[in-house]
Amino acid sequence: MYQIDTPIVLYSFDRPGYLEAVCASLTRQKGVRYDPAKVFLLQDGAVSARSGRRMARDADIEASIALFRRHFPEGQVRHSTENLGVARNILRGERLVFEELDAGLGYFFEDDLELGPWYLFALERLREITEPFPRIAYFGAYGDHRRDYPGPVVKYIPLEHHWGFGLRRHAWRRMMAWLQPYYAILEGVDYNARDHRRIFELFRPLNIASEASSQDAAKSIACLELGLYRILTTVSFGRYIGERGNSFSPEHFRAMGFDRMRVAQSETYDFVPLTQQKLEEIDAHHRRHYERLRRERFDAILAAHSRP
Share of the chain above pLDDT 70, in %: 96
Helix (H, G, I), strand (E, B) or coil at 155: coil
pLDDT for the residue 245: 67
pLDDT for the residue 27: 98
Write the CB contacts of 271 (distance below 8 Å, at least 6 apart in sequence): 125, 126, 129, 154, 233
pLDDT for the residue 148: 80
pLDDT for the residue 244: 78
Higher pLDDT, 20 or 243: 20
* Distance linking the first and last C-alpha atoms of the chain: 59
Query: Is residue 196 pLDDT above 60, yes or no?
Result: yes
Cα distance between residue 157 and residue 159, in whole Å: 6
Tens of pLDDT, residues 85-134: 999 999 999 999 999 999 999 999 999 999 999 999 999 999 999 999 99
∠76-79-82 over CA atoms, to 5°? Answer: 170
Identify the H or E element spanning 53. none
Q: What is the mean pLDDT of residues 1-22?
A: 97
pLDDT for the residue 257: 67
Q: Please state, in angstroms and as integers, the Cα–Cα distance from residue 85 to each residue in 5, 12, 175, 221, following that order.
A: 28, 11, 20, 21
- Our measurement of the distance from residue 143's CA atom to the centroid of its chain's CA atoms, rounded to an integer in Å, reads 13
Cα distance between residue 288 and residue 281, in whole Å: 11
Query: Is residue 204 pLDDT above 60, yes or no?
Result: yes
Cα distance between residue 122 and residue 139, in whole Å: 10
Q: Which amino acid is at 198?
A: R
Buried b (16+ CB within 10 A) or exposed e, 175-193: bbebbeebeebbeeebbee
What is the pLDDT of the chain when averaged over all its residues? Answer: 95
pLDDT for the residue 308: 54
Helix (H, G, I), strand (E, B) or coil at 141: coil
The strand order across the sheet containing 39-43 reads 76-79, 39-43, 8-12, 105-109, 164-168, 136-140, 229-233, 156-158
pLDDT for the residue 232: 98
Tens of pLDDT, residues 164-191: 999 999 999 999 999 999 999 999 999 9
Tens of pLDDT, residues 287-304: 999 999 999 999 999 999
Q: How many CB atoms lie within 10 A of CB 283?
A: 19
Tens of pLDDT, residues 37-81: 999 999 999 999 999 999 999 999 999 999 999 999 999 999 999
Higher pLDDT, 253 or 138: 138
φ and ψ of 81, to 5 deg: -75, -10
Dihedral angle, C-alpha 233, 137, 119, 124, nearest 10 °:
110
Cα distance between residue 84 and residue 49, in whole Å: 8
pLDDT for the residue 253: 72
Q: What is the mean pLDDT of residues 14-39?
A: 97
Write the CB contacts of 106 (distance below 8 Å, at least 6 apart in sequence): 6, 7, 8, 9, 93, 94, 97, 98, 166, 167, 169
Query: Is residue 249 pLDDT above 90, yes or no?
Result: no
Cα distance between residue 272 and residue 126, in whole Å: 11
Closest CA to 109 of 2, 215, 8, 236: 8
Cα distance between residue 21 and residue 184, in whole Å: 35
- Adjacent-strand bridge partners of 12: 43
- Where would I find the H helices in 56-179? 58-71, 85-95, 119-130, 169-178
Q: What is the mean pLDDT of residues 233-253?
A: 81
